[in-house]
Structure 1
Amino acid sequence: MSYNILWADDEIDLLKPHIMFLTSKGFHVTPVNSGSDALEEVEKKDYDIVFLDEMMPGMSGLETLAQIKQTFPSLPVVMITKSEEEYIMEDAIGSKIDDYLIKPLNPNQILLSLKKILDNKRLINEKTTQNYQQEFRNLAMQYQDRLGHDEWADIYKKLVYWELELEKSDDEGMSEVFLMQKSEANSNYSKFIRESYEDWLNDPKADKPLLSYQLMKQKVFPFLKSANEPLFFILIDNFRYDQWKVIQPLLEEFFSIEEDSTYYSILPTTTGYARNAIFSGLMPSDMERMFPQWWVSDENTPDGEEGLNNYEPDFLKKLLERNQLGNIKFSYHKILNSNQGKALVDNLPNLMGNQLNAIVYNFVDMLSHARTDMQMIKELAPDDAGYRSITRSWLLHSPLMDLLRKIADKKGRVIITTDHGMIRVQKPVKIVGYRETNTNLRYKHGKNLGFGEDHVLVCRKPERFFLPKPHVSTAYVFTEEDYFFAYPNNYNQYVNLYRDTFQHGGVSMEEMIIPFVTLKGK
């Protein structure tokens, strides 16, 4: 591709060797002798980049730069100067230059600057595509091996990395290849869960990952026993690892990241089961048995998760007592809207007196469950990239960001995690159930369920999954990959409504392999 360069220097004749060098490389260079001539030129013709000498009689390079940026803010400008004075560099950088070169100039130095500014995206795209092609082969070979939970977590992290890298690329073909690979990965991951999940819960010798009900005891409580500083445990509901990676740069400005890892959500991957398991330290059937007054069934509810988590502070209090931490001072807060978030920020001085502050943020979950505005949500987040973008934008402007900044200012420690992730569903699986069958799209439980078993994990003995069993014939079924359950009645209308929405409750890497991050204020 040929580029047009405007070069302004009062000694432009001395730069002819450089201009000839650039011409030989395919660039078109227009030389002018002053800043005012440069301003006239950019008004008359489209240029891809401008070189400005800093020391010119009349209008200086910095003055010319300021006027160019007022009219053409996105036009790249490179400042060239003989001076190495720091204040000149700072002025130029503050005026949004794209590069800064010091005379005497070297031809390759100029060429590197041009490639960095003009060809940066193309070169990165080519290198990204080349590197991913190699990684594609490596990942495809890994699927042939017998993988454990750690290997699957590593594969998912690699896929997230490449998804975010390819998102910056314009190579649609490679993006399609990636989506096929992620789909294949989820298919193989579902087979792994079918073979392993029951053993994790029932075989003491099984090689098992950290699961929801073990999270507080193994990852959170050690901080309480070893440090006197307050710990902020922030659980963002329905939060995936890829969403964490896009907000990570925002937080690295004022936090050091001590741990960036994952753990596994239990099944069903829903708030009512997985989050209750976190705060109680128990599997669902044990919660129902030990605390029947706090366990709420999701049978026949208008929305399967409404009202299922009203006793999290009670569960947490009992869990602390069982772990000889009953004397610690703790608080629990559930944030459902911006006003509650702002009130929490205002209350931070009081929270600093607690050893543990558990905070549940429901924003991401509310967004995914915006049933009444389903079409709007589909348009705002038509794909995973859109969903990540909404999450980043929300955090940037949310009271949660204000809270995190203030905690960092006090050199506080924060844990950010979630109870489960979500997946964009694409393909329906027909199911028939009775009236009491729960409403979740990714898992169902009830008696005498009728369904095809392709792309479905079936649990006919709920006690093996440590799940409540309201009836003798109760079974649980979970959709795998990006499938979702649909009833035969009004089938097409139902499928069209929920296809391409983000759901949770089933078996996928996105729902089960979820972030656990510890941060320390800088």
Structure 2
Amino acid sequence: METIYHILWADDEIDLLKPHILFLGKKGYKVTPVNSGTDALDQIEETSFDLIFLDENMPGMTGLETLTQIKQRQPNVPIVMITKSEEEHIMEEAIGANIADYLIKPINPNQIILSIKKILDNQRIRSEKTQQNYQQDFRNLMMAFGERTDYQEWTEIYKKLVFWELEIESSQSQGMQEVLEMQKNEANTNFVKFIEENYEEWLANPQDEDTPLLSHHLVRSKVLPFLQNNEPVFFIVIDNLRYDQWKVIEPMLAPYFHIEEESIYYSILPTTTAYARNALFSGLTPLEMSRKHPDLWVEEGDEEGKNLQEAAFLEKQLQRLRHNIRFEYHKIIHQQKGKQVTESLNQLMGNQLNALVYNFVDMLSHARTDVAMIRELMPDDAAFRSLTKSWFAHSPLFDLLKKLSDKKAKVILTTDHGTVFVKRPFKIIGDRNVNTNLRYKQGKNLNYDGDKVLVARKPEAFHLPKVNLSTSYVFAVEDYFFAYPNNYNHYVNYYRDTFQHGGVSMEEIMIPFVVLAQK
């Protein structure tokens, strides 16, 4: 049944507007006409209205005065201001009072209908249009990832899927969300096959045109060239930031920056801090790190933290590439440290390179597993995006970026890997020395049944170190997570529907790289 909207229209010449009111009645709208601001206030005390048309130039209580009174009593009702005047101060006062629309007399029926639909029917129209457009693109996407596809095409597929995910979420179309989720799962199944077929070749032939930009080449290829511009470079790594999360914080940066470049690069495996982020800062694969810098590389069995040497790795990479520059590295894991970095901006401007790692998004994903309240706040991907956006809006990082928008500096935003919402357990057996990550296992004598894994029986082909001759790596794929048979049900119930990383999925591997330019 179609919704009947109730409109209040206040104008001291309301009798002259009878043709418009009759026109709206034929269109299915119920209109209550009044000829003064006082009468309008009386009406809103007695009746709920979906929309109010308010003439600005009424005798007695003016439109602006009436507007203020209505907003105090009914702050959420949308109001359209109608006026003969085009004076700027009147428009500014009306806009400042949070009106929904502003129309200049003489008005015609099409203007009125357009304003009503924009305000009252916007969600329905957008939902219907989004559904129609997605249905048209659905078949194209299914055909695209069902064919033999290169990394650039996979990048475009993933971007499109994220675009539709955000559009459908915004349109609140539950049916389409379920269809898209099915399509994302199908895409991930095919993406895993693509990685399995090509990953070793990429590592063996990094200069090949069919090889995407990987973690260990990012700084050399995309960051260091900016040092030639004689302005400080701020290289900001938001740990665990997925592409969809970047897209929800991007509009917040629009008032301050142009997007000079937005691209996607590929995280190496395992998609974790110890491997992907160390590769980012060292410019080396994990196997190369373990061989060239055994004093910095931390093996799986070691108790020492695996991400404590990023500054040293970055310094080694700069030395190796003969960049004798002044740089600083800061890791921000709490608000106070973030504020200190922001307050020291003038000092940082004296460096040629500033590498800043912000750890909050990664901490949020881990808290989702361990803290019951965070589980309630973050039940799915949409909520994860929402909390990321909320964090960013109130973060020292956003404060820093706003200050940088007034400086002559190059600003780069990126991440080390993404994360995936895991739903399905996969049984695996290993000895007590096997690592604890739920998305990849490294060790000897790893046993499992089924093919929903990616296996590196020869770790050196994946450019990964091995502790002993029989070491292998096994990666969870799609939305699976590893579970041991011992205490299986408790383990599965605890980790199902959590955010994990380390394995193979579009969300973990295809991650954003963004260059911001000051406006």
Whether TM exceeds 0.5 here: the answer is: yes
Equivalence for 1:275 = 277
Map of 2:213 onto structure 1:
210
**Counterpart contact for 1:480–1:508, Cα < 8 Å:** yes
Which of 305, 308, 318 is matched with 1:307 structurally?
A: 305
1:300 offset after TM fit, Å? 6.8
Structure 1 residue 324, shift from structure 2 partner: 1.4
Deviation for aligned residue 1:203: 3.9
Q: Tell me, yes or no, if structure 1 residue 496 matches structure 2 residue 493.
A: yes
State the 1:372 CA deviation: 7.6
Residues 146 and 190, structure 2, Cα contact 8 Å, conserved in 1 = no
Aligned to 2:112: 110
Corresponding letter in the other structure for 1:158:
K
Q: Aligned with 1:437: secondary structure?
A: coil
Q: What is residue 9 of structure 2 aligned with on the other side? A: 7
Match in the other structure for 1:122: 124
CA distance in 2, matches of 1:73, 1:492: 50
Q: Distance in 2 between matches of 1:83 and 1:202?
A: 70
Give the conservation status (yes or no) of the 8 Å contact 1:300–1:438: no
Percent identity between the two aligned chains: 65
Instruction: Determine if contact 2:369/2:495 at 8 Å carries over to the other structure.
Output: no
Distance 1:506 1:379 in 2: 25
For 1:105 and 1:207, locate their aligned partners in 2 and report how far apart those are by CA, in whole Å: 59
Q: Normalising by structure 1, what TM-score? A: 0.97
Q: 2 CA distance for matches of 1:452 and 1:293?
A: 37
1:165-218 Cα offsets, whole Å, 9 max, x none, are 000123211110000000000000001011110111124657110000000110
Partner of 1:240: 242
Do structure 1's residue 259 and structure 2's residue 280 form an aligned pair? no
Match of 1:458 among 455, 460, 464: 455
The secondary structure found in structure 2 opposite 1:507 is: coil
User: Is the Cα–Cα contact under 8 Å of residues 368 and 375 in structure 2 kept in the other structure?
Assistant: no
Please, which moves more after superposition, 421-430 or 403-412? 403-412
TM-score normalised to the size of structure 2?
0.98
Matched with 2:184 is 182
* Other structure's SS at 1:340 match: helix
Q: 3-state DSSP class of the match of 2:146?
A: coil
Count how many residue pairs are aligned between Structure 1 and Structure 2. 516
CA distance in 1, matches of 2:110, 2:310: 63
In the superposition, relative to structure 1, how do residues 203 and 255 fare at CA in structure 2: closer, same or farther (>3 Å)? closer
- The one-letter amino acid of 1:258's match is E
User: Distance in 1 between the 2:341 and 2:88 partners?
Assistant: 43
Provide the residue aligned with 1:320 in structure 2.
Answer: 318
How far does residue 371 in structure 1 lie from its aligned partner after superposition?
A: 7.1
Is residue 300–residue 436 contact of structure 1 (8 Å, CA) maintained in 2? no
Cα distance, 1:373 vs structure 2: 3.6
For residue 397 of structure 1, what is the aligned residue in structure 2?
A: 394
Q: Partner of 1:489: helix, strand, or coil?
A: coil
Superposition map of 1:411-430 within 5 A: 411-430=408-427
Q: 2:225 aligns with which of 210, 222, 225?
A: 222
The reply to whether residue 486 of structure 1 matches residue 483 of structure 2 is: yes
User: Aligned partners of 1:160 and 1:24: how far apart in 2?
Assistant: 41
Q: Distance in 2 between matches of 1:152 and 1:489?
A: 38
In the alignment, is the contact (CA less than 8 A) between 1:153 and 1:262 conserved in 2?
Answer: yes
Separation in 1 of the partners of 2:45 and 2:209? 72
Task: Tell me how far apart the structure 1 counterparts of residues 368 and 97 of structure 2 sit (CA, whole Å).
Answer: 46
Alpha-carbon offset, residue 240 of structure 1? 0.3
Structure 2 equivalent of residue 520 of structure 1? 517
In structure 1, C-alpha distance between the alignment counterparts of 2:231 and 2:409, rounded to whole Å:
7
Report the Cα distance in structure 1 between the residues aligned to 2:234 and 2:405, rounded to whole angstroms.
Answer: 11
Structure 2 runs not aligned, ≥5 long = none
Structure 1 gap segments, 5+ residues each: none
Deviation of the 1:92 alpha carbon: 0.8
